[in-house]
């Protein structure tokens, strides 16, 4: 049988996992779970390539990964097999045959992330695992003003949690949409790519603006500083979800 390159689109609840990437002595990763089921199906080890490293606790509605292997099963049969044996908090929404050269990480041209906060007066019982519950109602207009300074190509070193980052910290953010819908406040980010914890630090910083702890006009100086310590807190992982990957 000839090896083919299979592309998968996943939905997963990442709140109980240690992120996407498998780690030594850590079984609870998304990549590890999928590779284990493929090994069961194929009776051989398979490397699953992810579109990026989602952090521990982060979920996804449109995560993309790919793997090269040989099987007589049709793509929909592979999808069904994976869904039968994967935990209930991981779902393969789609399995297709991609070109041999397709690479889920290197071919990605953009990503959309959404961060969700709860600002109601009661408790988000059914959504509690996927929202950051705030004890204040932020000033949305102030946050929108602050976000306008973040649009475009900048050195986002102030918003990266990895102090030993060897690669460039320059990234391009195309849009930041801040919306209130009843008791929920969402921040939707689209960009070419994001640094480690970048979306969560951006959100934490914007929330500090919304709470009146920093001025919207201070954002340009914060970008120029290139110092993580000067940016806001890193918002909790459970409020973040990868929505879509562009190719």
User: Is 55 among the residues known to form the active site?
Assistant: yes
70's enclosing H/E stretch is none
2 touches 70 (CB < 8 A): yes
Cβ contacts of residue 241 below 8 Å, gap of 6+?
58, 59, 60, 61, 113, 114, 115, 116, 130
The CA distance from 29 to 14, in Å, is: 9
The CA distance from 162 to 194, in Å, is: 12
207's enclosing H/E stretch is helix 198-210
Catalytic residue from among 55, 93, 183, 246 = 55
Catalytic residue ranges: 55
């Amino acid at each position: 049988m000839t090896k083919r390159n299979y592309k998968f689109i996943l939905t997963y609840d990442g709140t109980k996992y240690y992120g996407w990437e498998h780690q030594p002595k850590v079984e609870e990763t998304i990549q590890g779970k999928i590779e284990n089921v493929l090994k069961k199906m194929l009776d051989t080890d398979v490397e699953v390539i992810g579109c990026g490293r989602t952090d521990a606790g982060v979920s996804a509605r449109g995560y993309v990964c790919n793997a090269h292997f040989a099987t007589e099963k049709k793509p929909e049969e592979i999808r069904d097999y994976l869904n039968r044996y994967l935990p209930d908090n991981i779902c393969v929404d789609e399995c297709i045959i991609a070109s041999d050269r397709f690479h889920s990480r290197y071919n990605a041209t953009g990503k959309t992330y959404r961060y969700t906060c709860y600002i109601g007066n009661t408790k988000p019982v059914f959504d509690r695992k996927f929202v950051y519950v705030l004890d204040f109602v932020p000033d949305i207009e102030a946050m929108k003003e602050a976000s306008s300074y973040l649009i475009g190509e900048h050195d986002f070193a102030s918003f990266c949690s990895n102090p030993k980052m060897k690669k460039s910290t320059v990234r391009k953010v195309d849009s930041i949409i801040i919306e209130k819908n009843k008791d929920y406040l969402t921040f939707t980010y689209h960009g070419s790519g994001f640094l480690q914890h970048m979306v969560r630090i951006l959100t934490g910083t914007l929330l500090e603006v919304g709470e009146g702890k920093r001025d919207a006009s201070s954002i340009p100086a914060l970008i120029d500083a290139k110092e993580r310590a000067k940016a806001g807190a890193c918002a909790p992982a459970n409020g973040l979800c990868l929505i879509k990957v562009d190719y």
